[in-house]
Amino acid sequence: MADRLDPVNQMVPAFTDLLVLVSARDSSSILLIEQIPPWVAQWVGKTPQEVEGEPIGRLPGDLMDALAAVADDVLTSGLPVENYSVEFRDIAGREHAVTLSAQRVEDYRLSPASRARDHANESGPAVLIHLQDISESVRQRRRSAGIGLFHGIVGRSKPMLAVFYKIEVYGPTEAPLIITGETGTGKELVARALHERSLRRDRPFVAVNCTALSEELFESELFGHERGAFTGALRSHKGRFERADKGTLFLDEIGDMSPRTQSKLLRVLEQGTIERVGGEEERRVDVRTLAATNMSLEQMVAIRRFRADLYHRLSVFRIHVPPLRERPGDLPLLVEYFLEMIGQRYGRRGLRLTPDAMRLLSEYHWPGNVRELRNVLERVYVETGGQVVGHNAFKEWVRERDYLSAGGWNLERLESQRAAAPVIITPPESSDQPRVSGFGFGVSDSADAQTPYPLAFPRGTFTPGGGSTIDAVYSVEHPPSRKPKGLTEEIIRKAFADAGGNATRAARLLGVHKATLYRRLKMLGLNRKDLETNPRPDTHPTQEPKP
């Protein structure tokens, strides 16, 4: 700040963010305002002209008290103050926050037009306070805290709080750690959070995706290479280990690492040294290793695709990031967070989802997890012109998901069933979703009841006519329990085909006991032979037409 001063006159030009306080002639403890930013004066309901020349202690408000206290400290101690943040209410009761830096200046000369001239010495010590309005960023941070943001990870559900707790506990340790979880759950964010919570936070965080590189490239990328080590190695190259020295190395998808690289990695972890490809010199590296995988490393160890010694070396600690379907309560928070983020990126704020759209999303099982949610929201955001997004905006996405899903959902089939039994969607009874403003849950009106889209989502509870529960679809991984009368011939045939003609598996897919399935077949006048000879009569576009 001092370098802004005119070296001859020790006067400051009228910076719009600078407050200048000078000592009164009668008493050095009284500080007069020589210059004040207009936006600061506004907070006390005045103009700069009205307050310049006045003692700062006489102005009302918490900010003025804070500024007077800082100026006193700086004036008496001579020590500057840097990045001191104050939150306060203005004269109208609105909340604001500023960050300020202050310093004492000797022989400050009043400006010729100064209103403080009558009560202050021509020259003397002054306190210059540089102010920065941080109200908006504080508001944003408060919003983030409200949605449970922890190092960029959104969540307030029990499983996520457990993850946050582990990050807090394991972060400051030096031990290697494995992060497990399905694709798109945010394993890299957890790794970054661990780095941020560690003593290495001021050092580099280097991430490497073990799937993305071939074995030869991977070793060179991880350990570096010397010039001439292989064709095209025109100069020596620092590997990720060296770049992460004193910091953290994050090995993503470590389950895809080749056995040869695994053994080299093990040696590095045990000895703390690396050898560049084509090099002879051993280099010492100090790296904390974090690894992530969406596979079961235990199973891979069992089938000898992953070294047991490396597994034990890496998995001192473990953090499992739960899939989105296991933390449904976080969905509204994530939606709110992503809409805010996307809104910032595209410069269009305030977009929100209707309760129906929100309900639609909550019925989905999210195989792509948080990444998939973010992507679909961005897509809908870009495609939608308005400020409020209803469930129709997700129509195309639902159709795509319908055909891509593991359960082989068929929207047309579902539509026909839908027509037969008007459906009202209700939130899951066991839902622990918090009621976030703008995302209320209620019973759909009749217009909503006409939409077929939610039927493609296997986790929903569908209540036809307010009576018994029918779930028209099934899921391979999470079969819903169903009543036998909901099993139409079509559904059974499809399950049978998907199960490769295995009745036990078909029953499991349908969420019923094998005996129930046979009973139902009997009721429908079918037998196994019928199903085997004519396995798939539905109208799925990818299927051959019924002969």
Partner 1 sequence: MSDEIEQLIHSHTGVVVVQITEPVLETDQPMDWVATEIRQWRSDASVVQVVLSLHREWALRYRVHGSPCTLVFRHGELCLRVKGRFGRERLRAALERAGLLDLS
Convert residues 44-73 into a mask of x (bound to partner 1 by CB under 8 A) and - (unbound). ------------------x--xx--xx-xx
Please give the distance of CA 507 from its chain centroid, rounded to a whole number: 38
Q: Residue 5 interacts with partner 1 (CB under 8 A)?
A: no
User: In the complex, what is the shortest distance from the CB of residue 126 to partner 1, in angstroms, rounded to a whole number?
Assistant: 18
173 versus 543: smaller Cβ distance to partner 1? 173
Q: 3-state DSSP call for residue 281? A: coil
Which residue, 138 or 213, has its beta carbon nearer to partner 1?
138
Among 145, 175, 302, 308, binds partner 1 (CB under 8 A): 145
* Mask for 69-108, x = binds partner 1 (CB under 8 A): xx-xx---x-x-xxxxxxxx--------x-xxx-------
> Does residue 513 touch partner 1 according to CB under 8 A?
no
Q: Which is nearer to partner 1, 99 or 384 (CB)?
A: 99
Residues numbered 442-481 forming contacts with partner 1, rule: CB under 8 A: none
Handedness of CA 12, 16, 18, 19 (dihedral sign): positive
Of residues 381-400, which lie at the interface with partner 1 (CB under 8 A)?
Answer: none
Measured CA to CA in angstroms, residue 193 lies from 86, 150, 250, 324 at distances of: 27, 8, 12, 19
For residue 432, count other CB atoms closer than 10 A to its CB: 11
Cβ proximity of 514 and 546 under 8 Å: no
* Binding span for partner 1 by CB under 8 A among 16-24, 135-143, 418-426, 527-535: 135-143
Q: How far is the CB of 156 from partner 1 (least distance, A)?
A: 17
The reply on whether position 173 binds partner 1 by CB under 8 A is no
Q: Which is nearer to partner 1, 79 or 217 (CB)?
A: 79
Kindly tell me which of 49 and 85 has the beta carbon lying closer to partner 1.
85
- Closest distance to partner 1 from the beta carbon of 490 (Å): 56
Cα atoms found within 13 Å of the Cα of residue 90, Cβ hemisphere only: 16
Can you tell me the distance from the alpha carbon of 360 to that of 350, in angstroms, rounded to the nearest whole number? Answer: 20
Give least dist CB 248 to partner 1, A. 16
Q: How far apart are CA 451 and CA 470, in angstroms?
A: 16
When asked if residue 404 is in the footprint of partner 1 (CB under 8 A), the reply is no
Nearest to 120 by CA among 54, 57, 63: 54
142 touches partner 1 by CB under 8 A: yes
CA distances from 16 to 32, 40, 83, 427 (A): 18, 10, 18, 53
* Stretch near partner 1 under the rule CB under 8 A, chosen from 139-147, 316-324, 336-344, 394-402: 139-147
Of 7-46, binders to partner 1 (CB under 8 A) are none
Spatial distance between the Cα atoms of 300 and 303, rounded to a whole number of angstroms = 5
We find the least distance from the C-beta atom of residue 86 to partner 1, in angstroms, to be 4
Residues 20-43 as b or e (16 or more Cβ within 10 Å = b): bbbbbbeeeebbbbbbbbeebbeb
**Residue 301 binds partner 1, judged by CB under 8 A:** no
SS3 12: coil
Separation between Cα atoms, residue 445 and residue 390, nearest integer Å: 13
Under 8 Å between Cβ of 360 and 396? no
Q: How far is the C-alpha of 404 from the C-alpha of 187, rounded, in Å?
A: 24
Residues numbered 196-255 forming contacts with partner 1, rule: CB under 8 A: 201
E strand or H helix that includes residue 141: helix 135-146
Judged by CB, which is closer to partner 1: 134, or 310? 134
* Interaction between residue 519 and partner 1 (CB under 8 A): no
| Residue carrying structure tokens 């009543």 | 483
Give the binding-site size for partner 1 (rule: CB under 8 A): 28
Supply the minimum distance, in Å, between the C-beta of residue 36 and partner 1. 18
Least Å distance, CB 1 to partner 1, is: 13
| 61, 91 contact by CB (below 8 A) | yes
**Bridge partners of 166?**
none
Work out which of 36, 105, 134, 521 binds partner 1, going by CB under 8 A: 134
The encoded tokens of residue 142 equal: 């408060």
CB 348 to partner 1: min, Å: 26
| Residue pair 491/517 in contact by the 8 Å Cβ criterion | no
Which is nearer to partner 1, 39 or 84 (by Cβ)?
84
Q: Between 78 and 259, whose beta carbon lies closer to partner 1?
A: 78
For partner 1, the closer of residues 139 and 345 by Cβ is: 139
Start-to-end CA span in the chain (Å): 85
Which residues bind to partner 1, rule: CB under 8 A? 62, 65-66, 69-70, 72-73, 77, 79, 81-88, 97, 99-101, 134, 137-138, 141-142, 145, 201
